[in-house]
Structure 1
Amino acid sequence: MLIIACFALPLVTAWLLVDRWRPAGSVQHGELLNPAHPLDLRFDLAEKSRVDNATVRGRWALVYLGSAGQCDSRCQTALYDMRQVRLALGKDMSRVVTLLLLDAVPEDGLHQWLATEHAAMLLGLADAKTRNSLPEAFGQPELSGDWVYLLDPLGNLLMRYPVTVNPSGILKDLRRLLRLSEIG
């Protein structure tokens, strides 16, 4: 009877806990969009060439929605964190692209600052529909400068991170995704 109880007790316990107990913790540091939301991401590069999903397709993308008028402290922090996370990936850095989507052509001061501080970042100009599609996918359209979005190599919106998040959390999530991903 003791041997039977050793095998049956875990099965009975699992059967009783199904749909009643969920683990409280999660491993991701951002807000996961489940299921991932496919995006039709269309924008113009600051160099006046029209691009779409193909520009970021095949690579993971960290996207920030900014304003052409200025880059306040939240914007600067988000862009800095995105750059540092990408650099911290080391040999996997080429698998990730950073993208700043603006609402209009940036002012000269902002454009020069971006060229100096964030030369590897893609600078895109997107219409309101494209810019709104990112926060609307999470069902809570909010201020555009509050989040850093993560797109997978297939062009799906996967996660978002508040600009106040510790960048080591983004780095841990990206390393895990790059290690487990067969694409991008």
Structure 2
Amino acid sequence: MSGSNSSVPPGSAPAAPEPVALTVHSLAGPELGQGGAADGSRTRIGRLKMLLVLLVCASPVIASYFTYFVIRPEGRTNYSELILPTRSLPADLNLRTLEGTPVTARSLHGQWLLMAVGPAACDAACEKRLFMQRQLREMLGRERDRLDKVWIVTDEQPLTPQLREALGGAVPVTVLRADAAAVARWLAPEAGRRIDEHLYVVDPMGEWMMRAPVDPEPSRVKRDLDKVLRASSFWDKAGR
């Protein structure tokens, strides 16, 4: 007992205990402004990476077109007319089968397309173009599986049974209806001609890139097709 009071002088009251002091330390962390700047930087980096990926994916197409359109050896000529810049297959064509089933424009991607355009009442000139379309594909030999035949019908009239039968065969023509005005905003004839007087070439990316002349020489159109197929052989393969 004496040991517990030895520090208190006799006759003095015990000293009051000192209050406990607490010190609060703030935790380290990014300030609001710094966090916003960091988010903005990450967004810019993400967009840059996305653009680089798109560029890498598109580079084979760009390279083949550059080779075909720009790097031309002496004496090299094209019979068909090249379309520069190319025109993308629009989504508003309102494509549908002859029975009326909707077809997406995207479903035509993945193959080279040799396209004819015109009304369902196919006259003698139309029948000649459709026959040439079939013959041109067969003339490509082992490369023919990289090209599809497509006929865009620009009205609502029915096809005759005879024409339907002629469009069949081992490799039938893909026949689709589309709005005439929408087709005319995409494809275009040469000056003074109608849109249904040509054959049109569309690449696997859905880009209209070449137009055959009116009443063309099949062998010369075939050489043009050989050129574009050869230029794209390292990135385009047969089949969708």
Interval of TM-score (by shorter of Structure 1 and Structure 2)? 0.7 to 0.9
Q: CA deviation at 1:150?
A: 0.6
Residues 1:114 and 2:163 are matched in the alignment: yes
1:14-53 correspondence to structure 2 within 5 Å: 27-40=77-90, 42=93, 43-53=95-105
1:117-136 correspondence to structure 2 within 5 Å: 117-119=166-168, 120-136=172-188
CA contact (8 A) 1:132 1:141 kept: no
Q: Call closer, same or farther: CA 1:94–1:106 in 2, change over 3 Å.
A: farther
CA contact (8 A) 2:78 2:224 kept: yes
TM-score by length of 1: 0.76
Residues 1:83 and 2:134 are matched in the alignment: yes
Q: Secondary structure at the match of 1:176?
A: helix
Runs of 4 or more above 3 Å deviation: 23-26, 138-142
CA contact (8 A) 1:67 1:104 kept: yes
Q: Secondary structure at the match of 2:175?
A: strand
The letter of the residue matching 1:118 is: L
Q: Which residue of 2 aligns with 1:67?
A: 119
CA contact (8 A) 2:90 2:186 kept: no
Unpaired runs of 5+ in structure 2? 1-72
Larger radius of gyration: 2
Q: Which residue of 2 aligns with 1:93?
A: 144
Q: CA deviation at 1:101?
A: 0.8
Q: Call closer, same or farther: CA 1:96–1:64 in 2, change over 3 Å.
A: same
Q: Secondary structure at the match of 1:162?
A: coil
User: C-alpha separation between the residues in 2 aligned to 1:77 and 1:85?
Assistant: 12
CA RMSD of aligned residues (A): 2.5
Q: CA deviation at 1:37?
A: 1.4
Deviations 1:150-179 (A, max 9, x none): 101100010111230111122111112112
How many residues were matched structurally? 159
Higher relative contact order (CA 8 A, sep 6+): 1
Percent of matched pairs sharing the same residue: 27
Q: Which residue of 2 aligns with 1:8?
A: none
Unpaired runs of 5+ in structure 1? 1-22
